[in-house]
Each structure stands twice: as C-alpha cells, then as structure tokens.
C-alpha cells in the first residue's frame, strides 16, 4: 500500500473512471440536429442544387474562375426510365462517372444529392482521378444509389450507361437509368 493509502489497482480504477467521465462530458458536443429552416450558404462560384466548384479553380478554391490549361469536359443529360418514375427518394444520390473503357478507375465523378430528373451534368478535369490530358475515349455511366454509397451497385440501385464511347468535349452524352439491381 502506498503512502496515500491508494493501491496501484485502485489508482488504475480511478484513472479509468476519470477517462470515462471525461468522455461522457465530451459526448454531447456538436450533436444538435441541423437546422433545416436556415440552410447553409451556397459556396462561392456554386449555385443551389449544383455540384461545388472544382478545387482546380473558381472562387471556391481561390482561383480565377478559369479552367486550368489542358482540360476536357463531357456533358449530357441523365434521365429516369418511365418504369422508375416517382421512385427517387430524398436520400438517393446520383453518381455520374467517366472512365476508360473496360476499367473501374474513374477519370471524373460528379455527385448529386436528391436529384431531379432529367438532370444536366458536366464532367471535367479535376472531378476524379484523371489527369488533364483527355483519353482517346471514355465510357460514361450513371448510378442512382439508394444508400448514398459510391461503390458497386447494391440491391435497389438504378444504373444506366451511354451507348458507345464518348470523346472529350462531347456534349450529348445522354444516359437513361434503366437497370435496377
């Protein structure tokens, strides 16, 4: 027994009790529900319902707003097949992905929360793992995720792809979500 009358075993219990009390005192911090009646401001350079600006330029990233040199874009429209009309939930997330044909690694990805269809999209350099040089051609797919996760399709997810290979700069790369997993 030590000088203070506390054994090493009791000292360990007191230490753990202090850690638990500290953790409990910290638990309630920043857990208040978000006030939906006062939505956050739209980031500079963005617009409500639109994706945020690229980190490669624009006012959001402190740039000039101009696209970087050697950029590429692909744009089009994502539509919902008639049999899925009215089946889009408020928590659903749409991913539009461009990648080299036959590969899984995305060159560009755009994420849209609670999408309204038809939806216009634009993918460009800096929206994914692709470099500034455009590949010879890209496959473009869209996935409506019920869980919000970007990985492989889960049961209930909807998916569609553009017919053929799209070239950098293409503007009519339209996709219909017509497959349910």
CATH at 128: 2.60.40.2990
Best-predicted range by mean pLDDT (22-31, 67-76, 162-171): 162-171
In a domain, 21, yes or no: no
> Which residue range(s) make up the domain with 159?
67-180
Is residue 68 within 8 Å of 132, Cβ to Cβ? yes
Domain total for the chain? 1
The number of C-alpha atoms within 13 Å of 31 and in the hemisphere containing its C-beta is: 5
In a domain, 102, yes or no: yes
- Predicted confidence band of residue 43 (pLDDT cuts 50, 70, 90): very low
Is residue 55 within 8 Å of 49, Cβ to Cβ? no
In a domain, 20, yes or no: no
In a domain, 101, yes or no: yes
Burial class (CB in 10 A: 0-12, 13-18, 19+), 145: buried
Is residue 124 within 8 Å of 108, Cβ to Cβ? yes
In a domain, 47, yes or no: no
CA gap 149, 165 in Å, rounded: 25
Has this prediction a pTM greater than 0.85? no
Cα–chain center distance at 128: 11
In a domain, 35, yes or no: no
Is the model's pLDDT at 1 over the cut of 90? no
Phi, psi dihedrals of residue 26, rounded to the nearest 5°? -90, -15
In a domain, 98, yes or no: yes
In a domain, 51, yes or no: no
- Predicted confidence band of residue 7 (pLDDT cuts 50, 70, 90): low
């Amino acid at each position: 027994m030590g000088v203070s009358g506390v054994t090493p075993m009791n000292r360990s219990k007191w230490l753990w009790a202090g850690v638990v009390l500290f953790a409990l005192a910290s638990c309630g911090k920043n857990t208040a529900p978000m006030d939906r009646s006062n939505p956050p401001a739209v980031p500079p350079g963005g617009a409500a319902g639109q994706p945020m600006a690229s980190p490669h330029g624009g006012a959001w990233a402190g740039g000039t707003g101009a696209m970087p040199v050697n950029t590429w874009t692909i744009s089009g429209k994502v539509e919902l097949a008639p049999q899925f009309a009215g089946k889009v939930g408020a928590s659903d997330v749409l991913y539009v992905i461009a990648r080299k044909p036959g590969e899984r690694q995305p060159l560009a990805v755009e994420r849209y929360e609670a999408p309204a269809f038809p939806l216009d999209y634009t993918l460009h350099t800096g929206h994914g793992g692709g470099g500034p040089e455009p590949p010879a051609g890209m496959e473009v797919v869209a996935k409506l995720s019920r869980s919000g996760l970007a990985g492989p399709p889960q049961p209930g997810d909807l998916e569609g792809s553009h017919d053929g290979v799209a070239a950098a700069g293409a503007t009519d790369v339209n996709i219909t979500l017509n497959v349910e997993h």
